Chain A
Amino acid sequence: AQSVTQLGSHVSVSEGALVLLRCNYSSSVPPYLFWYVQYPNQGLQLLLKYTSAATLVKGINGFEAEFKKSETSFHLTKPSAHMSDAAEYFCAVSGPNFNKFYFGSGTKLNVKP
């Protein structure tokens, strides 16, 4: 079965600090993994995706994530937080047919000046 666990419903960092948002997955098949961002009152926007190519995936806005099969993790990082990064972030894993997604519960990132 497919599932995603996002550790920490709220994360707060200072501007310029490292951002680390954690995602662990469970999958019965080799997974496709995704990170989405949601700004207030908007829909979800794709940040990056892993589809069995390079394990280190670079996305938009300076974010990247590393697929670690041994740890069943796909953590999202950004070296230096910006105020505009404040949003909610969702990790998702695809199902066996790759089209149905299973989303985590989300992590709200707060960036302090």
Chain B
Amino acid sequence: DAGVIQSPRHEVTEMGQEVTLRCKPISGHDYLFWYRQTMMRGLELLIYFNNNVPIDDSGMPEDRFSAKMPNASFSTLKIQPSEPRDSAVYFCASSLSAENNYEQYFGPGTRLTVT
């Protein structure tokens, strides 16, 4: 299995630009999570989906952030417009709820720098 795939691995953009981060979960997993990691705030859950439906988006910092999951094998996290304080590493994770599993598998992350 290829694991969780994220792209791009690095993104540098200017303030005000739109940024789109992409995630392909592990095949067959029914949960998908987006996290943000910074030195100041640690690891924060932004949003998660179950069977492509958003379940909890209470961690999304503001309306500039949006996430979609059009099908079971793809999700995007969009920031529009981006700001320097959005600079962070963004992780996608997926899990399988069946058989009392629940453990989350993380992707390698996207390091976002907004100048």
Chain A positions near chain B (C-beta within 8 angstroms) = 32, 34, 36, 42-46, 49, 51, 90, 94, 98-101, 103, 105-106
List 10 A-B residue pairs with CB atoms under 8 Å apart, sorted by A's residue number: A43-B107, A44-B43, A46-B103, A49-B103, A51-B100, A51-B102, A98-B102, A99-B95, A99-B102, A106-B42
Q: Do B106 and A45 have beta carbons less than 8 Å apart?
A: yes
Digit string of B1-27 for contact with A (CB within 8 Å is 1, else 0)?
000100000000000000000000000
Q: Do A43 and B108 have beta carbons less than 8 Å apart?
A: yes
Tell me, rounded to whole Å, the shortest Cβ–Cβ distance linking B44 to chain A.
9
B48: chain A residues within 8 A (beta carbon) = 99-100
What's the dominant secondary structure at chain B's contact region?
A: strand
Q: Do B43 and A103 have beta carbons less than 8 Å apart?
A: yes
Count of A-B contacts judged by CB separation below 8 Å: 46
| Interface residue range, chain B | 20 to 34
Report the Cα distance A51→B95, complex, angstroms: 15
Chain B positions near chain A (C-beta within 8 angstroms) = 4, 31, 33, 42-43, 45, 48, 50, 56, 91, 93, 95, 97, 100, 102-109
With contacts A43-B91, A43-B109 known, is A101 near B42, CB below 8 A? no
Q: Do A42 and B45 have beta carbons less than 8 Å apart?
A: no
In the A-B complex, the 6 residue pairs with the closest CB atoms: A43-B106, A44-B106, A103-B43, A105-B42, A43-B108, A98-B102
Q: Do A46 and B105 have beta carbons less than 8 Å apart?
A: yes
Report the Cα distance A44→B33, complex, angstroms: 13
